[in-house]
Chain A
């Protein structure tokens, strides 16, 4: 089964944010609460936490991309 990790609702005026770095790669095993990347807004640099347990199948945006609130960022294969 596959699920996605999405951008949290950041709360900046117009959702302006950039996925600044990834700290995971395809194939990595990740768990809930793990820091998987960072998001830069004009106000702050935020840590992106995993909301899933599983294996990273695909990174849906490249580092440096603008992202919107609730946009899917990672596809995760969920362990059964």
Chain B
């Protein structure tokens, strides 16, 4: 951190020991009467009622899955049911301690957590607040179809909430997320319930990102990441806890945001994954809470708590909230409980004994609380029986309506499958507001880089002289300029990634931003790609705008789930309710061998839900970065490191000084020609131009060059028109051949220009093996010579030139290369 943290060898080399201290286990010791005094009758009875609702809800799903009916009404449900029967106290104890504005993200087994948070929010919100929330954009599609017959707003809200949840589980259009999330992803933001995750531990990075948003935006509500015990083995969970506890948060000078992130990692520890046992079998820790000691000196304030006792859970959350309020978060809670139900209805419990299950049924949290309530005369048996009967009726009512195809239809995907496609992107923007001044540390004009940019030529070539990158704006500068504008004019924008501060990113794109932005808006992340992308998803989900970076495309695998399953999917999985304005910068390396030079742009295009941009000129890079930063959709911005030092020589106007945008999805006509079309992806453009120059000067052949610029979306009209004119097409890409995005384009051109083409389309792509060392790169990536060969394959005679490369496609297929 700007040379402020000295590493002193004298201190480092001293003999000493590290004291890990102690972690309390089941420290809660209050009697029921003490809890009764603390909480009062009403809250305890409401908690009990919520536990009963959760139990009934889960029993309903179990009956439907196992017997095809509920309360004698037949219904077939094909989807998953990961039930939490037995775990009700952990969900309810948690919700009891939370405010309606606090946020939870559910675990893999989340119905109980969702129900508890929602029912408590209804209980705590005023009638007016409730009325607004149940008539919001998030509920419009529910209340249009379903009318509660209840008179009070609270009872109506309960009906709508239960109906929305059951509808979602059954995949109905009246579900919270139009049935596109389903059982493992049902969530409802008006009550502070954010996405649950089918990916084990998937909630951790997203929840961490929401906590980051709360911190940066100086909000007081806290976030709970509900995650299972087995998720403690997952890298992204570990990365998230580290991210939340970063030392730089503790050292922030701004008192309002000083401290670790306001989040509780709430491990719902039921002692099993599906069947594997973390304690004693798949992990070495013996106690889950021990992992807190590996994160920071506070051990994340880790505690093991009795998850079958709502009061122990309530007490732990309350104390965690105090820790967070004092800036000492995050907190880890190891909430031990037990699921009586199997992992799923098909679970034969081959991994545990009946004796074990029975022993836990003896400490059923509902029975414990029921006995306390009866013994202390909060309710009598007939009142409890009536409550149970009412709950059955309440649940049945929601069930009956949710299975009624008139009230709760499915999205008509059989007649209009594109409905889901239309929810993939929102195609909206948040335009930059130049009148708004965001929080900065200094006047931008005082920053050395910004001064030198203002003195640089906007043209890369002046009177036929090519200017160096120190005299003219480069591709690197062009990316920087719109980022600078957004940093200055948008307070919701945070920028982070590895070495982003001080270094300005490994390739210096952000140089100058360190002087401009406070640490909380521009910071170094840990080397934790899953956390970088996953937290950006959460930050954006909460309402912010994130610009994050993976240093090399090769690291995509490290953030695989976060890019492929989280960033790409939540807009559609939310039924269009969530917006994810994330710009993910990814650079394609060169000269760094097999694990630092791969062009994975095609891989990114394979994932539905990501916009993928790949500019090749400085002019395009500036305009497309501006569009990416304004986009409310997730955009992956691919940068090829070969281009960073390039000045603008292609666009004759150079790079305008003022902010401008280029529409995402539109290719560019870079060179007009008549004899052949060369279609280029990314950094191949310069090689295409070099080939075109040789074709012109040596053989008087006029090549037309089109640069893709965007891969997803991509408007093919320009290319179709070009091929109709030239009747010949060569396509080039640095990505390897198998699964290359160009194959789809080539198929499209065969379909649209089949009658125009003189011969089959030629393509030049990297082969299906590793990138060799720097000195051998041009025996791997498409070269100018390869392009000239492809031109000859189009039947164009290049007199005096010998065709130098052949690819035996059939042989390569057979050999898997």
Rounded to whole Å, the gap between the CB of B178 and the closest CB of chain A is 47
A17 to B468, CA, bound (A): 9
**Chain B residues whose C-beta falls within 8 Å of the C-beta of A16 in the assembled complex:** 468-470, 645
* B470, A40: Cβ atoms closer than 8 Å: yes
Report which A residues bind B (CB closer than 8 A): 12-14, 16-18, 40-45, 66
Rounded to whole Å, the gap between the CB of B498 and the closest CB of chain A is 15
Rounded to whole Å, the gap between the CB of A23 and the closest CB of chain B is 16
Contact among B468, B474, B642 with A66 in the assembled complex (CB-CB below 8 Å)? B468
Rounded to whole Å, the gap between the CB of B551 and the closest CB of chain A is 13
Question: Which among B344-352, B359-367, B501-509 touches the partner chain?
Answer: B501-509
Q: B interface, by DSSP: helix, strand, loop or mixed?
A: loop
B477 proximal to A (CB < 8 A): yes
| Most central of B476, B477, B511 by chain A CB within 10 Å | B511
The residue on A at minimum CB distance from B647 is A16
Contact among B470, B508, B645 with A44 in the assembled complex (CB-CB below 8 Å)? B508
List 5 interface pairs A-B (beta carbons < 8 Å), by A numbering. Answer: A14-B468, A42-B477, A42-B508, A45-B448, A66-B470
* B470, A43: Cβ atoms closer than 8 Å: no
B163 proximal to A (CB < 8 A): no
Rounded to whole Å, the gap between the CB of A10 and the closest CB of chain B is 12
* A40, B452: Cβ atoms closer than 8 Å: yes
**Chain B residues whose C-beta falls within 8 Å of the C-beta of A13 in the assembled complex:** 642, 644-645
**Chain A residues whose C-beta falls within 8 Å of the C-beta of B645 in the assembled complex:** 12-14, 16, 42
A44 to B452, CA, bound (A): 12
A4 to B640, CA, bound (A): 37
Contact among B470, B476, B477, B507 with A17 in the assembled complex (CB-CB below 8 Å)? B470
**Chain A residues whose C-beta falls within 8 Å of the C-beta of B469 in the assembled complex:** 14, 16, 42
A51 to B119, CA, bound (A): 72
* B511, A43: Cβ atoms closer than 8 Å: yes
Rounded to whole Å, the gap between the CB of A35 and the closest CB of chain B is 14
* B468, A43: Cβ atoms closer than 8 Å: no
A7 to B366, CA, bound (A): 76
* B476, A43: Cβ atoms closer than 8 Å: yes
Rounded to whole Å, the gap between the CB of A43 and the closest CB of chain B is 3
* B470, A42: Cβ atoms closer than 8 Å: yes
* A44, B477: Cβ atoms closer than 8 Å: no
Rounded to whole Å, the gap between the CB of B616 and the closest CB of chain A is 16
Interface residues of B in 476-505 (CB under 8 A from A): 476-477, 503-504
Rounded to whole Å, the gap between the CB of A49 and the closest CB of chain B is 17
Rounded to whole Å, the gap between the CB of B722 and the closest CB of chain A is 31
* B504, A42: Cβ atoms closer than 8 Å: no
> 9 shortest A-B CB distances, which residue pairs?
A43-B508, A13-B645, A16-B469, A18-B470, A16-B468, A42-B469, A16-B470, A42-B476, A44-B508
* A42, B644: Cβ atoms closer than 8 Å: yes
**Chain A residues whose C-beta falls within 8 Å of the C-beta of B468 in the assembled complex:** 14, 16, 66
A42 to B509, CA, bound (A): 8
The residue on A at minimum CB distance from B508 is A43
Interface residues of B in 9-55 (CB under 8 A from A): none
Rounded to whole Å, the gap between the CB of A39 and the closest CB of chain B is 10
Interface residues of B in 502-533 (CB under 8 A from A): 503-504, 507-508, 511
Rounded to whole Å, the gap between the CB of A9 and the closest CB of chain B is 14
